A and B are shown apart, each in its own frame.
Chain A
Amino acid sequence: MIPAAIGGISVVVVFGLMAWVVTSAEQWPRIKLQFFNIDAMIAAFPRVLQGFWVNMQVWLTVLACVLVWALVLAVVRSLRAPWFAPFRLMVVIYIDIFRGVPVLLLVLLFGFGIPALNLPGLPNSGLFWGAVAMVLSYAAYVAEIYRSGIDAVHEGQRAAAKSLGLSEWQTLRYAILPQALRNVVPALMNIVVALQKDVALLSVIGVRDAVREAQIYTASTFNYSSLIVAAGLFLLATIPMARLADYLTRRDRERRLQIAG
């Protein structure tokens, strides 16, 4: 009770002091006008929110594609049959390349480069190709996460499946993957959160997401409050996701402790 009170009071005091120091600074009114101008925020809000809606749609679409594509990569990489060797090698090369190149570079390359080719029969929008770049890049990371989960399943599970006559694919499908996926949920959640804000990278190829809309407002008014609005919207989305990730991680650890105990 008393420690809690001390904690509460000291939080109020420290934060209050910081607020007072900042707001009483000589330059504060200028900072406030530049970044925290309420009128500008209100004016920019509808457009930025509309852009943010694009972010969330792209996020969910890219996320779904990443989870599926990465699973394909991870499965190919973990099948052990000899005739699979060339495919395994392809996946290794893929992962090396797409993990080693900055996402921003890929987004520029795909988002500007491919639409410029005007390939017949393929979509021509920067948004589409930018999103493809994000899928390709993120899937490389997620495939490695899946693989760590697959490797973490005890060898005895494979032995049991094999001794029951399950084929290699059936072993993965029924015995290994369900356990592997459960193992990697906490690690995946961190990727989900990272992706949630990284989709803003698509603004560099002209996709009118929250960041782009905020920049457009900034360009015409020389006021940066619109970017703060966009930042606020991202925080509104990412903080609950991060808390969910923490919760799932904690629950997973408790589950393991229970099994070990």
Chain B
Amino acid sequence: MTTPMIDIDTVTKYFGDKLVLDRVSLCVAPHEVVCLIGASGSGKSTLLRCVNRLVEYDYGTIRLDGMPVDDPAFGKTGLQKRAGIVFQSYNLFPHMNVLDNITLAPRRVHGHSRAEAEERGREVLARFGMAGFAASYPEQLSGGQQQRVAIARALMTRPDVLLLDEITAALDPELVGEVLAIIRGLKDEGMTMMIVTHEMGFARECADRVAFLDGGVILEQDTPDRLFNAPQEPRTKAFLQRIIASGRL
């Protein structure tokens, strides 16, 4: 068996007294796309943020390509280089133009020269149809464009894993498609991805596996076909029915 790219092993996390992740285990194989679904507050975003240590978990282990994410061998920035994350509200730096946004980490963290970083930056922007916006500021862009820049920023260091945290939730409906198209493209190239999403249609189409979280526990995980068509757990059924009732599946 190959080493999982992400190996979450009985991870537990408390916020104060509140248990938000309860002995969660989940593996993501190389080139696999796993979607986390569940109601808000179910712990799926927290779980995602534990992988790149934006959130520190209390018990258990998470391994990236076989190495615990808190292993000193990662150094101060090795983990961030290998696991990129994209947020719901883009979180671009508003005082920097697009090119500066995406070259900040390569230059200041990973020691690349400006020329080197900008060359790579323009290349990535061009790939996502943003070549003409290198000098624009985030507030001059649509939500979809900002999110494309945020994805570009996360990919600058050629990470092995991409973590996506509800990246279409803040977008106007007509802009969702352009962002999801990029994710499909990344999947086709073999990017390993862990995706927190409310877009059930997208999860169904794009995921190799879907995990349903409820109350800090993964209640069930399966291929999208089986999970969406024949959920085993009553809570999964109830959740999916609510989604169907709201017209989002």
**Residues of chain A whose beta carbon lies under 8 Å from any beta carbon of chain B:** 154, 156-157, 159-167, 170, 174-175, 178-179, 182, 258-259
Contacts and interface: CB of A to CB of B under 8 A. Distances in A.
B52 to A, nearest CB: 6
Given A179-B95, A182-B95, A163 B54 contact: yes
B93 A159 contact: no
Interface-centre pick from A165, A166, A182, A258 (highest chain B CB count, 10 A): A165
Contacts of A157: 91, 93
Given A160-B87, A165-B110, A174-B104, 8 more contacts: A156-B91, A159-B54, A159-B91, A163-B54, A163-B84, A164-B80, A166-B105, A167-B76
B108 A170 contact: yes
B91 A165 contact: no
Interface-centre pick from A157, A161, A164, A175 (highest chain B CB count, 10 A): A164
Interface in B99-138: 104-105, 108-110
B25 interface: no
Contacts of A167: 76
Contacts of A175: 93
Contacts of B54: 159, 162-163
A175 to B, nearest CB: 6
Interface string B74-105: 00110111001101010111110000000011
Given A156-B87, A160-B87, A259-B139, A166 B108 contact: yes
A161 B77 CA distance: 11
B198 interface: no
23 contacts: A154-B91, A156-B89, A156-B91, A159-B54, A159-B87, A159-B91, A160-B91, A160-B92, A160-B93, A163-B54, A163-B80, A163-B84, A164-B80, A164-B153, A165-B105, A166-B104, A167-B76, A174-B93, A174-B104, A175-B93, A178-B95, A179-B95, A182-B95
B95 A165 contact: no
Contact of A165 (B81, B92, B93, B94): B81
Nearest to A259: B139
Contacts of A259: 94, 139
Contacts of A162: 54, 80
Contacts of B110: 165
Contacts of A160: 87, 91-93
A166 B153 CA distance: 13
B77 to A, nearest CB: 3
Contacts of A166: 104-105, 108-109
A127 B52 CA distance: 55
A207 B176 CA distance: 67
Nearest to A164: B105
A261 B16 CA distance: 36
Contact of B80 (A156, A165, A178, A182): A165
Interface-centre pick from B79, B80, B87, B95 (highest chain A CB count, 10 A): B95
A204 B95 CA distance: 44
A164 B87 contact: no
Interface-centre pick from A166, A167, A258, A259 (highest chain B CB count, 10 A): A166
A22 B104 CA distance: 66
Given A156-B89, A159-B54, A159-B87, A165 B139 contact: no
A258 B94 CA distance: 13
Nearest to A176: B93
A196 B153 CA distance: 45
